[in-house]
């Protein structure tokens, strides 16, 4: 409650883009009222649901994706951005698939930036182009890896090439040095799994040494108990799942949301073909509320299908299939700023701190350790 109030006060004081809608829609979420709502301040847009890497948990990677594969149409995207430009504060330019496989990604990000949106994206790094990223003016890009050696990286990022990912990252750091006025924040992420958990200290040292802005240590998601046995780290501080339930053969997050979700009152996800789904927990497109390339999003956002879904969340969330494995993380804060110095962040439900290597003493002026409320 105290944290909630302090977030409200900060919003009212700083008034970042979207602050009124965030306050209003969150109050409606807390009251369980499905609408009408103000336009969402957070949007996810999927550039493509295709990918090269074949990660075994990801529906794109393991080939279980039930939606057709394809690429976002740039003309329709621009029309949508024109519609939502005045109200969207944060655009997550990735969902299922690898954003930089889309040749127009850089131009599309730049277009959203020209409408004063804060844009962030995540990449496996294989096809990330340094010049394109700096040109795009993206606020945050995160290169996410599966290990510190070619062998460990490929256990999860099966068809990715760590040398190529590193080269693309180093090129990006060089390119940014050549453009000192560039605002691009460069992050690296490490998905902690059983095969690589011993490499977390090496990862943190490497991240600091190469000069990225932030290192994220990410608790892994799995979809089944058997994937859990295979992939979850032996060190349970990296577990996002309830240990006791897991022993009984049930996969359930440590914190299960109970008739509460700030996401679908503040945000929605638009697939490459324009279909609108609740959030990142619907990779197959099971709950489609409409098509934002066929109708204005402002109509879909307050129409009956999405309101019906919000009502189900507010009254019987335990019966909503896609909420079963939801982390229940809240929406990320508005008005984010680039870290002043190297920053280490945990994407986790666990409150224990990381074991930071001695030589990266977190009390050192150059290092801040924070925990995050964004979703994995
Ligand atoms: C579906 S991916 C799409 C973006 C990009 N292709 C990538 O992998 O970075 C979305 C996010 O999920 C993360 N991710 C993939 N598999 C994961 C897992 N098993 N556990 C936690 N995060 C995972 C990715 O690193 C990325 O941040
Ligand atoms: S790199 Fe990203 S999109 Fe591609 S298979 Fe892996 S998690 Fe899925």
Integer Cα distance of 243 and 261 in angstroms: 23
User: Residue whose CA is closest, atom 13 of ligand 1?
Assistant: 376
Q: At what angle do helices 2-14 and 19-31 cross, to 10 degrees?
A: 150
Ligand 1 geometric centre to CA of 93 (Å): 13
Rg (CA), the chain: 20
Give the model's pLDDT for residue 373: 41
Neighbouring-strand partners of residue 119: 91
Ligand 2 geometric centre to CA of 60 (Å): 6
Give the model's pLDDT for residue 376: 35
Integer Cα distance of 337 and 355 in angstroms: 26
Give the model's pLDDT for residue 332: 85
Tell me the average confidence (pLDDT) per consecutive run of 10 residues in the chain, 376 residues long: 79 94 95 97 98 98 98 98 98 98 98 98 98 98 98 98 98 98 97 97 96 95 97 94 96 89 95 97 97 98 98 95 84 88 84 74 60 43
Residue 376 CA: nearest ligand 1 atom is 22
Sign of the CA dihedral 130, 136, 140, 145? negative
Residue of 50, 54, 143 best suited for mutating to test ligand 2, as the one with most atoms within 8 Å of CB: 54
User: Residue whose CA is closest, atom 15 of ligand 1?
Assistant: 58
Starting at the edge strand found earlier in the chain, the sheet holding 140-145 runs 290-291, 275-277, 267-270, 42-45, 90-92, 118-123, 140-145, 185-191, 214-218, 343-347, 368-371
Integer Cα distance of 138 and 119 in angstroms: 5
Structure-block tokens of residue 369: 């350790």
Ligand 2 geometric centre to CA of 101 (Å): 11
User: Residue whose CA is closest, atom 12 of ligand 1?
Assistant: 376
Give the model's pLDDT for residue 362: 60
User: Residue whose CA is closest, atom 26 of ligand 1?
Assistant: 122
Distance (Å) of CA 162 to CA 154, 208, 250: 8, 18, 34
Integer Cα distance of 21 and 38 in angstroms: 5
| Phi, psi of 177, deg, nearest 5 | -60, -35
Q: Please give the angle made by the CA atoms of 329, 335 and 339, to the nearest 5 degrees.
A: 90
User: How would you label 10-25 residue by residue, b for 16+ Cβ within 10 Å and e otherwise?
Assistant: ebeeeebbbbebbbeb
Ligand 2 geometric centre to CA of 264 (Å): 24
How many CB atoms are closer than 10 A to CB 83? Answer: 15
Give the model's pLDDT for residue 330: 77
Distance (Å) of CA 92 to CA 31, 99, 240: 27, 11, 22
The answer to whether the CB of 347 falls within 8 A of the CB of 372 is yes
Cis preceding-peptide flag for 36 (omega within 30 of 0): yes
- Mean per-residue pLDDT of the chain: 93
Give the model's pLDDT for residue 366: 58
Give the model's pLDDT for residue 328: 73
Ligand 2 geometric centre to CA of 346 (Å): 20
Give the model's pLDDT for residue 359: 77
Residue 124 CA: nearest ligand 2 atom is 1
Neighbouring-strand partners of residue 48: 71
Ligand 1 geometric centre to CA of 58 (Å): 7
3-state secondary structure of 282: coil
How many CB atoms are closer than 10 A to CB 63? Answer: 9
3-state secondary structure of 129: coil
């Amino acid at each position: 409650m105290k944290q909630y109030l302090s977030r409200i006060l900060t919003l009212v004081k700083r008034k970042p883009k979207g602050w009124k809608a965030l306050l209003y829609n969150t109050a409606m979420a807390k009251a369980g009222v499905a609408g009408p709502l103000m336009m969402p301040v957070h949007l996810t847009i999927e550039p493509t649901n295709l990918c090269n890497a074949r990660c075994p948990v990801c529906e794109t990677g393991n080939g279980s994706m039930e939606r057709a594969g394809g690429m976002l149409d740039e003309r329709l995207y621009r029309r949508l951005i024109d519609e939502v430009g005045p109200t969207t504060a944060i655009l997550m330019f990735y969902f299922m698939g690898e954003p930089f496989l889309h040749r127009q990604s850089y131009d599309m990000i730049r277009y959203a930036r020209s409408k004063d949106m804060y844009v962030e994206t995540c990449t496996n790094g294989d096809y990330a182009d340094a010049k394109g990223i700096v040109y795009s003016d993206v606020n945050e890009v995160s290169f996410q890896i599966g290990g510190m050696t070619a062998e460990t990286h490929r256990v999860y990022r099966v068809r990715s090439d760590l040398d190529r990912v590193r080269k693309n990252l180093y090129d990006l750091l060089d390119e940014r040095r050549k453009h000192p006025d560039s605002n691009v924040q460069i992050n690296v992420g490490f998905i902690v799994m059983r095969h690589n958990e011993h490499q977390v200290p090496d990862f943190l040292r490497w991240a600091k040494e190469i000069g990225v802005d932030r290192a994220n240590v990410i608790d892994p998601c799995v979809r089944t108990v058997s994937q859990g046995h295979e992939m979850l780290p032996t060190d349970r501080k990296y577990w996002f799942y309830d240990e006791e339930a897991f022993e009984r053969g049930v996969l359930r997050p440590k914190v299960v949301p109970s008739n509460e979700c700030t996401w679908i009152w503040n945000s929605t996800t638009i697939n490459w073909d324009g279909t609108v789904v609740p959030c990142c927990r619907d990779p197959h497109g099971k709950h489609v509320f409409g098509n934002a390339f066929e109708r204005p999003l402002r109509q879909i956002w307050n129409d009956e299908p999405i309101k019906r879904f919000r009502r189900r969340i507010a009254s019987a969330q335990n019966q909503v299939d896609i909420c079963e494995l939801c982390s229940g993380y809240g929406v990320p804060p508005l008005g984010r700023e680039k870290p002043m110095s190297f920053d280490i962040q945990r994407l986790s439900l666990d409150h224990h701190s990381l074991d930071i290597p001695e030589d990266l003493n977190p009390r050192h002026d150059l290092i801040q350790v924070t925990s995050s409320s964004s979703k994995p």
